[in-house]
Amino acid sequence: MIRRNSIACISAVAVLLVATWRAEAAAFGPDMPAWMSPAAERAAEKTMVPPAEPAPDANVPDPLDSIRASVAKAEDQVQSDHPSDALSTIESALNALDQVPQSQPGAAALRDELGELKDRCEKQNAAEASLGADDGSDGEGSTMPKLRSIKPERNERVDKWIDFYTGRGRDQFQLWLVRSGSYMDLLARNLRAEGVPEELANLVFVESGFNMQARSMARAVGPWQFIRGTAKIFGLKMTPYVDQRRDPELATRAAARYLRRLYGMFDGSWPLALAAYNSGEGTVQRAIRRQGTDDYWSLRLPRETREYVPQFLAAMEIASNPDRYGFELPPNSPFRFDEVVVRGPVDLSLVSKVTEIPIDDLKALNPMFVRHRSPAGKDGTPLRVPHGKGDDVQTLLETNYKPKPLTRAELREASRAQRHELSYRPRRHHRGRHNTHLVRRGETLSEIGKRYGKTQATLVRLNRLPDGQVRAGQRLRLQ
């Protein structure tokens, strides 16, 4: 009994001591001396796990975000043909990237992307630097560095188009050959003046068939099929009254400068430069980057671009040896003219009446005029007339030509037409029923052509169908 009471007493004292220690620990707080802790408490402290580092604040911005924004800005500047501005943006982004640890996720990829952009800008700047020299409209004695000539190539894809042009497309190609007789000398002369191979004149077979008034569904215009944005970059003038994209001389100069730039951008590869002329340099650059090859013949490109270079090479082959392929040689009727100056408003109908030059001849010599009447130029308006008649026509204009100013209605109509042109956006899908035809089971190209008043050769050319075959569900262009 005494022993049990002793044990109970000892237990009570122990409880009192622990309670006293905890009270003192609470009084000391976290600064309690270690000697005050029981051995068990000190052992527990030795095995305690340190607290985890605080989680990063979600509101702290990623240091690479501003650099990514700079990359996007530089891309836009390159696509807008401002390589100098893009280089400045790239250098700033690279300097910022140097302040970021190399271990930062995404930093290495950004550095590679900036390096690639910098190379593109430097190539573009080099190409632009070579565009400066010009020797006038005679096209001789160019000081421009001469680029490598275009190598003829024959393979299955080229032979397919030669077979088509000499087969079902023969009549169409013969028409193009006849038209080319008026322009080939002029185009070759101006291409030489820009230092690019004169064989590039054969590209106009594929682009427009030597139709100065050609206009695509995407509203590319003229022999070289310039869209407005590209034409403006290369100095072609477009107003409600004049569209220099239609002018064989001025448009050829612009096309030569654009092709020279593309040649430099793609390291001297004419097939890649021509593919970029067709589909845009961005399309070709992305294909090269994604597919890991710069061989045009191996690249997977949009169908039209895949066929574009073989078409050009086939046209070049036939045009250089037309009699070998059974074509009639085009008549030698070079595009030659004298130039006069019209004071006051231009009225081609009145000029025709005063000078007795057929109005169709005036329109053919001056395809850049959008309408037959236009306002007066500040220093007069240049007008082309048949070769050898310049002096006589100038005298007649100065004595007998008295045009009326354009009416307000004429000015409003011209302005409205240009606004419509500028606001137009080509529709990539759901084209109008009058512009396309959905092929039904069992229909042939010949039947479709008869229905819409189109020749089979025209439909083949519009839809890049060298084999002339169509399939059910295919949508054909009609214009």
113 is catalytic: no
CA nearest to 299, candidates 280, 315, 285? 285
- With tokens 């302040």, the residue in question is 99
Torsion over CA of 145, 148, 150 and 156, rounded to 10 degrees?
-150
Render 413-474 in DSSP notation, one character per residue: HHHHHHHHHHH----SSS--TTTEEEPPTT--HHHHHHHHT--HHHHHHHHT-TT----TTP
Tokens of 12: 């009570």
CA–CA gap between residue 346 and residue 241 (Å, rounded): 10
What is residue 372's DSSP assignment? S
CA–CA gap between residue 265 and residue 252 (Å, rounded): 20
CA–CA gap between residue 319 and residue 174 (Å, rounded): 10
Half-sphere exposure of 245 (CA within 13 A, CB side): 26
CB 172 within 8 A of CB 459: no
Q: From the candidates 194, 199, 207, 307, which is the catalytic residue?
A: 207
Which residues have a catalytic role annotated?
207
